[in-house]
Amino acid sequence: MPASDLPAIHQLLAPAYQEGMNHGKRPAALAEIETGYIGSLVIRSAFTSPPFREPIPSLTDDYLDLRIMLTRFITDLGLQMCRASCSVPASPTRDRRPSSESESPKFVS
């Protein structure tokens, strides 16, 4: 399957999984499913999708291009997930910036 088909599958995968979870005893939020799916995909596949251990004769230019596009798709998903999680505002009790230079930050335990 070419990597160009993956975005369409990606868009359907987590919602379909969530629908199945909602029929069971432990429904899950879509964001939780996507985090688990993308996180495990990046950990398991991003580092193994480049063909490092395959015999040299099987590494055609077309095959390498497909594997590089697959790796790029996986790593881009992980990067998007990381960026989305970093954009969440910090807790005001843990990351409060001083309102003036003379005020030191206060941390609440």
Give the 3-state DSSP-derived string for 67-82, with helices as H, strands as E and coil as C. Answer: HHHHHHHHHHHHHHHH
Position 76 scores a pLDDT of 92
pLDDT for the residue numbered 16:
93
Domain count within the chain: 1
Question: Where in the sequence is the domain holding 43, given as residue range(s)?
Answer: 3-86
Interior angle at CA 18, CA 12 and CA 21, nearest 5: 140
**Do the domain assignments include residue 32?**
yes
Over the chain (109 residues), the average pLDDT of each successive run of 10 is: 87 92 89 90 83 75 86 91 73 45 41
**What's the whole-model pTM score?**
0.65
Supply the pLDDT for residue 8.
Answer: 92
Residue 67 lies inside a defined structural domain of this protein: yes
Write down the pLDDT at residue 89. 53
Any domain includes 99? no
Report yes or no on 103 lying in a domain: no
Residue 55 forms part of a structural domain: yes
Judge whether 73 lies within some domain. yes
Instruction: Report yes or no on 94 lying in a domain.
Output: no
